[in-house]
Amino acid sequence: MMVDRMEIDHLLDYGCGKAQSLTETLKPNRPLKYQAYDIGVPEYADPPIPADMVVCIDVLEHIEPEYLENVLDHLEELTEVILFATIHTWPAGKTLDDGRNAHLTQQPYSWWLPKLWERFEIQSFQQLSFFEFAVIAHNQNLSLEKTQALQDKEGLILE
């Protein structure tokens, strides 16, 4: 598991939702500070603090287009080392109360990637299905010390 290999101490689940399903999936072999954040869930809406790793699964496509740049900037500010994100590019099967599709930003990965590249160094891109992709990216402002530590831990080439 990436959290163990990279010796992640603090993980931020950005857009965790009510269920916090990531807590059921993660079974790290070391102590891990888990921080849940979701602006739409009152008990998890407190402002988050930066974390070694930020996980943002099935979140960004739900953001209103006029707020997307701010959310991406927020992710950049909060990601001390690694971002893992998945993004759906197609309409959702659900609609909002006002009738709009729940995926408010429906764009192909070719539209999303430049927005991520502005803020992160993308290490991995994988198309998970016709409708979804995942990226692993690191903070562009990593210190030399953290960059070298990551290379040693993961064998990553971070330039």
Q: What is the pLDDT of residues 37-89, one digit of tens each?
A: 999 999 999 999 999 999 999 999 999 999 999 999 999 999 999 999 999 99
Residue 15 falls in which region: left (phi positive, over 0), alpha (psi -120 to 50) or beta: left
Q: Which of 44-48, 113-117, 148-152 has the lowest average pLDDT?
A: 148-152
pLDDT, residue 148, reads 59
Query: Residue ranges of the domains in the chain?
Result: 2-94+107-154
How would residue 28 be classed by pLDDT, with cut points 50, 70 and 90?
A: confident
Tokens of 39: 């602006």
Say how far apart CA 70 and CA 51 lie, in whole Å: 18
Is the domain 2-94+107-154 a CATH 3.20.20.370 member?
no
Tokens of 117: 């590249």
Q: Is 89 helix (H, G, I), strand (E, B) or coil?
A: coil
Q: What is the mean pLDDT of the chain?
A: 86
Give the global pTM: 0.85
